[in-house]
Amino acid sequence: MVPPDIHNRLEAIRKALNVRIFSPQNWLSLSKRQESSALDPEAKGPIWVSRVTLPSPQEDDVRQALFKTIDILSANSETYTKPTSVPVEGEWVGHRRNVDAQAPEPTLTERKKYNGLMRDVSSAVTMLYVHGGGFYSGSPAQSRRMISKVTTLTHGRCFSLKYRLAPQHAFPSALLDLLFAYLSLLYPPQTPMIYHSAIPAREIVLTGDSAGANLCLSLIQIILSLARQQSRSPPLVRWNGIDVPLHLPQGVALVSPWIDLTYSLPSFEENQKTDFVVGYPISCDPRFPQCSIWPTDPPRGDMYCETSCLVHPLANPAAVEDWRGCPPVLVVCGEEVAVDGAKVVVQQAHRQGVSVTWRQFERLPHVFMSMLTDLEHTKVAIAEWAEFCRGLVEDKKVLEPGGELVVARDLSRTKVDLERLIGLTREEALVLMKRGMEKREVFRRNTREKPRM
């Protein structure tokens, strides 16, 4: 049941979260944020967690294909540092049957934990999950409980990626890690350290929240661009000595996507009354605590990428022109400051024939499903997330494409026209975002202040 005073409760929660996270006196340096998000606590209760490291490929072809795609989609003014290839970490997550909430994590090898997970799996649904955290924090461990709820409903499994974090590893480091992880699910390297067998693309749903949702859309755009470059779908890539087809996943499920890196679209100002997140990048605020990793040397205007890349289509998917061929998409979001970026993507994709299901929850803040776990709205959202994934993979009834606004006070639905989801075209949004990019100043180190850890 939705409490009768839900509006007042949500406003109280919004104010409390805003003070706790975004008041200057509570700001943590990036080093501290990364330190806290890197913790890997014991996985207690009805959840399987099997940690794994995926080796990087034998050759450099996939890495070079990414750089070529970045350059093809660029406006010829972007600069970026080419990351090296490294092994990719992550963890398999699934529902653990017949244990109570306080059951300790089993003292088994990671392989045996994975075998236990697979014994409890009864569906082919495999999610590839990409966590949020502004590209500079977060981890699979912080998302376990939410992911476990989804896998309980899908009866499937999830690979949760631990990608390299900015600002130390700027764009496109995280994208390269995600591309390696996806290929490793499709074509696992022949090594004793890999537990899973090859997973068909038709069984994989790419999913992520916030910054992770941004990375998911960028991966889809990489595959679509490679197909256009090669005039064939799926495109071929060289992977561990073999030319393999890079199929698109069966679907894409996005939670509170953080798309526009320039903070320029109208919702950044208009939705501050319903979101705890502020409508500007606090990392460029003069009061933001300096540390050994931020500001960078040489200085940048954004933690994730060079200022010149703020509207590159693989860093900011709201700038993407062509979504034709994209698999079905689900977007679940609140009334958030960053929502207009997602609206631009959804409207553009819908107009180009992509199947899109849009669920916006009135008055709910950014990533409410992970922040407000006991809310009835969260339970509804997670159920639809799972239904979307299972329906696509198992060829059952899928959530109907189209848009709905879920009313906060009673969970009733109002239809939303995806053709007119936002009062801007993609081209008009791009103008605003380019202006925002031009206004962005680099954040330089205050030499009078000793860097803090």
Tokens, residue 42: 């014991």
Domain contains 1? no
How many Å apart are CA 93 and CA 107, to the nearest integer? 16
In terms of pLDDT, which residue wins out, 116 or 441? 116
Compute the average pLDDT of residues 264-278.
Answer: 97
pLDDT at position 41 is 94
Does pLDDT of 25 surpass 60? Answer: yes
Does pLDDT of 43 surpass 70? Answer: yes
Does pLDDT of 452 surpass 60? Answer: no
Does pLDDT of 364 surpass 80? Answer: yes
Work out the pLDDT band at 75, boundaries 50, 70, 90: confident
Q: What is the CATH number of the domain that holds 382?
A: 3.40.50.1820
Domain contains 380? yes
Does pLDDT of 225 surpass 90? Answer: yes
Domain contains 25? yes
How many Å apart are CA 155 and CA 119, to the nearest integer? 11
pLDDT at position 70 is 98
Tokens, residue 326: 């994209």
In terms of pLDDT, which residue wins out, 284 or 30? 30
The SS3 call for residue 213 is helix
Work out the pLDDT band at 449, boundaries 50, 70, 90: very low
Compute the average pLDDT of residues 234-241.
Answer: 98
- DSSP structure string for 285-323: STTSPP-SSSS-SS--S-SSS-GGGTT-TTT-GGG----
Residue type, 330: L
pLDDT at position 451 is 37
Domain contains 447? no
Compute the average pLDDT of residues 92-105.
Answer: 96
pTM (whole model) above 0.95? yes
Q: Would you call 162 exposed, middle or buried from its count of C-beta atoms within 10 A (0-12, 13-18, 19+)?
A: buried
For the chain, the average pLDDT equals 95
C-alpha of 398 from chain center? 22
Work out the pLDDT band at 151, boundaries 50, 70, 90: very high
Does pLDDT of 81 surpass 80? Answer: yes
Domain contains 298? yes
Compute the average pLDDT of residues 279-291.
Answer: 92
What Rg value do the Cα atoms of the chain yield, rounded? 21
Compute the average pLDDT of residues 56-67.
Answer: 97
Q: What domain count does the chain have?
A: 1
Which is nearest to 172 in space by CA: 88, 290, 84, 295? 84
pLDDT at position 453 is 34
Does pLDDT of 222 surpass 80? Answer: yes
pLDDT at position 284 is 86
Domain contains 449? no
Compute the average pLDDT of residues 271-294.
Answer: 94
Domain contains 448? no
Work out the pLDDT band at 341, boundaries 50, 70, 90: very high
- Domain with 432 in it: 6-439
Domain contains 453? no
Residue type, 56: S
How many Å apart are CA 378 and CA 83, to the nearest integer? 37
Does pLDDT of 3 surpass 90? Answer: no
Which is nearest to 194 in space by CA: 240, 237, 145? 240
